[in-house]
Amino acid sequence: MKRLVTAMMLGTAALALAAPASAETLRWAAAGDSLTLDPHAQNEGPTHTMSHQVYETLLHRDMAGKIVPSLATEWAPTDDPNKWEFKLRPGVKFHDGADFTASDVVFSLKRAMLPDSDMKELLASVSDVVAVDDLTVQIVTNGPNPILPSNLTNLFILDEGWAKANGVEKPQDFEGGEETFAVRNANGTGAFMLVERAPDSKTVLKRNPNHWGKDQFSQDVTEIVFTPIQNAATRVAALLSGEVDFIQDVPVQDLGRVEAADGLVVRTAPQNRVIFFGMNVGDADLKTDNIEGKNPFADPRVREAMNMAINRDAIRQVVMRGQSQPAGVIMPPFVNGWTPELDAVPATDVAKAKALMAEAGYGDGFSVTLNCPNDRYINDEAICQAAVGMMGQIGIKVALDAKPKAQHFPLIGGYETDFYMLGWGVPTFDSEYIFNFLVHTKGEKYGSWNGTRYSNPELDAKIESLASETDLAKRDATIAEIWQVVQAETIYLPIHHQVLNWGMKSAIDFPVQPEDQPHFKYLTFKK
């Protein structure tokens, strides 16, 4: 027993020595962990967040969501419209001391185009990457690609030599269940270096003393300790009790409590994500309704009535506690193509909606099932519940089926839901991304998230033309035309744009990034 106590005391003493209590350590918590450190293996938000600390990209979205130079200092299309040229930053070194050169860029982008990469879709238009000299790279595309730069902001650059030495020339075959050296080790050029990694439990990073931007960025943080905490109440408790310094995703009901707590502050900004409902408008009959042989959603008047029945302001005030921006279009305001007119919120008018329902022949209403995730968006289940009540007021009896995202999303892709909730973020900040996935008829290359069965060949042709239209004015005009149709047909019922809430110690000065991507090199401590 005595020996045990001694051992315990020794352990404590050793720890006290090992962990210098430093104000510059940032203890950070979020709901989910990075899935893998291999930066090309998963195209997923929390995974990118971790990768962004250790690895860097050619171009970077800063804390305001603006594209700024990172490993590339200048970029422009060449005289050949199928070629973009990137000038690389000189004097950059990887964490292991290797020099950063054009060959690393060529290697990394080609690595990201391999079949096992989860990032390959973003480079689908790229046919080749060529090193012109040590600090110049050209990207060749199949046909002109006017928005190529915005596709590069999550494409991380690895060291070719390190990758080859450790046998990770190919991305981890994540789905095939492959574990490679790159999954738990990382060697980037980023502002932080990996110290320790225990997936789903703890990740430790330390400041990179040789980072190229050490004069440009504050780099106040010397060490980052990241812990994923899934349970929202526990996460908030950890912040309130001072066990962590910074959390992403504060539940809206706890904003007041965090704000009122001594030494804590909540920072808020609109997120690049819109929440909406989709309906099966294409099938001849619905599986989950009580009307035989007819699909009520196929009638645009029913869709319009539903759009009118949703009281977006009540959802904002009560369910979201003011932390949302009611939407009239399924496009976040950051996106090219967005106009205030498109996003004008439809007025709530239950009487008129009822009249429309009667006109469409559904005066007695009908019943249908609403599928909803319960762990994906802010208060997703509560929003769906509120919508159930609002639909009830115009006679649509909605049964709610809420479940984890892993079980919800397959329903949309598999055409197994007639009425569903979905949220959409637009990493390219361009309407084309929305059309490709949500509006175009579902097929091999397009419409994989279009669960509405909506199909309009004319619109499809217009959407496909966007990819290679170099005349940006003409392209924008086409985008506007497509939005007109989408709005007129009421294919989706927009609810709101999400608002991000980051909770932190008030000594921390850190703006909210619209894609929920904290880049800690920008973080400063108030002196």
Partner 1 sequence: MNAIRRALDSDLGHSFRHSPVTIVAAFFVVVLFAGAIFAPLIAPYSPFDPATLNLMNGFTPPMEPNAFTGETFWLGTDDQGRDVFSAILYGMRISLFVGFAAVLLALILGVVAGLVAGYVGGWFDTVIMRVADVQLTFPSILVAMLIFGIAKGLTPPDMRDQMAIWVLIVSIGLSDWVQFARVVRGATLVERGKEYVQAARLIGRSPGAIMFRHVLPNVMSPVLVIATIGLALAIIAEATLSFLGVGAPPTQPSLGTLIRIGQGYLFSGEWWILFFPAMTLLVLALSVNLLGDWLREALNPRLR
Partner 2 sequence: MLAFVIRRVFQSVIVLLVVGLVAFSLFRFVGDPVENMLGQERTQADIDRLRAQLGLDQPFPVQYWRFLQNAADGNFGMSYRQGRPVTDLLIERAPATLELAFVSGLFALAGGIVLGIYTAIRKRGWLANFIMTASLIGVSLPTFLIGILLIWIFAVELGWLPSFGRGETVRIGWWTTGFLTESGLKALILPSITLGLYQMTLIMRLVRSEMLEVLRQDYIRFARARGLSERAVNFGHALKNTLVPVITVTGLQLGSIIAFAIITETVFQWPGVGLLFINAVQFVDIPVMAAYLMLISVMFVGINLIVDLLYVAIDPRLRADRAAAAK
Q: If binding is defined by CB under 8 A, does position 103 make contact with partner 1?
A: no
Q: If binding is defined by CB under 8 A, does position 6 make contact with partner 2?
A: no
| Long-range contacts (CB closer than 8 Å, 24 or more residues apart) made by 293-301 | 296/360, 296/362, 296/366, 296/368, 297/418, 297/419, 299/360, 299/361, 299/362, 300/489, 300/490, 301/356, 301/357, 301/359, 301/360
Q: If binding is defined by CB under 8 A, does position 65 make contact with partner 2?
A: no
234 or 470: CB nearest partner 1: 234
Q: How far is the CB of 369 from partner 1 (least distance, A)?
A: 5
Q: At what angle do helices 300-309 and 350-359 cross, to 10 degrees?
A: 160
Cα 319 from Cα 383, distance rounded (Å): 7
**Which range, of 83-91, 236-244, 296-304, 319-327, touches partner 2 by CB under 8 A?**
236-244
Q: If binding is defined by CB under 8 A, does position 259 make contact with partner 2?
A: no
CA terminus-to-terminus distance, the chain: 47
Q: If binding is defined by CB under 8 A, does position 389 make contact with partner 1?
A: yes
Q: Which of residues 322-381 bind partner 1 (CB under 8 A)?
A: 367, 369, 371, 374, 381
Q: Which residue has the tokens 């789903």?
A: 200
141 or 371: CB nearest partner 1: 371
Burial 268-285 (b: 16+ CB within 10 A, else e): ebbbbbbbbbbbbbbeee
Alpha helices in 55-169 (DSSP H): 102-112, 160-165
Q: How far is the CB of 376 from partner 1 (least distance, A)?
A: 13
- The alpha carbon dihedral of 499, 414, 450, 148 has a sign of positive
**Which range, of 120-128, 152-160, 311-319, 329-337, touches partner 1 by CB under 8 A?**
311-319
Q: If binding is defined by CB under 8 A, does position 98 make contact with partner 1?
A: no
Q: If binding is defined by CB under 8 A, does position 390 make contact with partner 1?
A: yes
**Which range, of 72-80, 90-98, 295-303, 405-413, touches partner 2 by CB under 8 A?**
405-413
Please identify which residue in 417, 452, 490, 517 interacts with partner 1, judged by CB under 8 A: 417
Report helix, strand or coil for 432. helix
364 or 444: CB nearest partner 2: 444
Phi, psi of 72 (to 5 degrees): -100, 140
Q: If binding is defined by CB under 8 A, does position 199 make contact with partner 2?
A: yes
Phi, psi of 103 (to 5 degrees): -65, -30
Binding site residues, partner 2, CB under 8 A:
7-8, 11-12, 15, 19, 35-36, 41-44, 118, 121-122, 172, 174-179, 183, 198-202, 227-231, 233-235, 237-238, 240-243, 375, 404-407, 409-410, 413-414, 425, 437, 443-445, 448-449
